[in-house]
A and B are shown apart, each in its own frame.
Chain A
């Protein structure tokens, strides 16, 4: 590899290239958000990937699925294949563990990662990923976008970092029982949600930026959590107001409840 390859990102630190290369990042979900993320991870030099997606490209994906071409919809190309092509095109020596299923159907490989960037559609899916990340000690970065209302439509979204020992998505006010219950009551009635390419790009780029900071600590912020709220109409990304006056510790996840569940003798 040429010494010039990463010369423009040398400000990340003298050992950033090695740190990034040693890290393992998991991306469950390779749609509008995940396709941006694997592309950027490959550009910055990530060598170890664990990716999940059981879907294939459809025509309705072509408005936002990075790397997909019209022929992929016709050919019903697996999204997993597109992601692997993207990664290997930039990092021919990358180690990619790719699974054509939901991560819940094969969770063991996910646990090898140090960072999980979740690009899932539901609150329930986010909660399940965060639980897995706490149980097996992984940083969890969540991204999501949605469009609400009609006059005019409002694009909203979030990027959240939830780290073992730090504040969780419930502490930060993003996940609530009410949201989970409302979502459960709409089960089967959700339909196709509005999705466009540029908010996914903003959110995915922000998530990759957080991931790079967790690996290299180039900002010296020593983050343990983050909750950034995206306003797509204004084009802004700000700290959530729910982070104000938060206490330090997380009451939802125990520091010692990690690893495989064990039967307790009573």
Chain B
């Protein structure tokens, strides 16, 4: 079982950034860093920071919502490398602009996992992954150290005011 936590301030910072329109890309993406904690019978991923991707680091590609260039990827690879001592991993994050549960689109499942393999190759002791937020929910897929396949996080909890607990398979919609 894997659970993810982040503070309300970090969640607000991420949402604010990802909701900004881009000059040409249909959506924005970003990277968050996270460290591992031990749970009874599982792992906790505690998110520590967010890195916005500057406008000029996006590439024009109308086949996908957003494509980022080598500068953005290099930053993430370096973050994974420098995070080794702290066991701090890198998570690709983006927003699906609807309410309720989110899942990986076909493009997400095709395009993002190869990037995570790159992070794992330089930061083997950390957890890396993919987080997809909606306006009031969120889902995550985590590659733990030594695991070749990702595991979907059971929940993503926002520790703020109010607290948000987004459980996998449970919609918060009314």
Contact = CB atoms under 8 A, between A and B. Distances in A.
Asked if A and B are interacting partners, one says yes
Contacts of B6: 137
B36 A259 contact: yes
A139 B163 contact: yes
Interface string B153-165: 0000101111101
A95 interface: no
Interface in A222-257: 222-224, 255-256
Contact of B37 (A214, A260, A265): A260
Interface stretch (A1-9, A18-26, A184-192): A18-26
B7 interface: yes
A164 B7 contact: yes
A35 B50 CA distance: 40
Contacts of B51: none
Interface string A153-167: 000000000011100
Contact of A264 (B85, B159, B167): B85
A14 B3 CA distance: 26
Nearest to A224: B161
Contacts, number: 100
Interface string A80-99: 00000000000000000100
A114 interface: yes
Given A223-B161, A260-B36, A22 B5 contact: no
Interface string B130-169: 0000000000000000000000000001011111010100
A34 B131 CA distance: 36
Interface string A58-83: 00000000000000000000000000
Contacts of B172: 15, 18
B85 A222 contact: no
Interface of B: 3, 5-10, 35-40, 44, 46, 48-49, 85-87, 157, 159-163, 165, 167, 170, 172, 174
24 contacts: A15-B172, A19-B163, A19-B165, A23-B163, A108-B39, A111-B44, A112-B3, A112-B40, A114-B5, A114-B165, A136-B46, A137-B46, A138-B159, A139-B163, A163-B160, A163-B161, A164-B159, A165-B9, A213-B161, A215-B162, A255-B49, A256-B35, A259-B46, A262-B86
Interface of A: 14-15, 18-19, 22-24, 97, 106, 108-109, 111-112, 114-115, 135-139, 163-165, 213-217, 221-224, 255-256, 258-260, 262-265
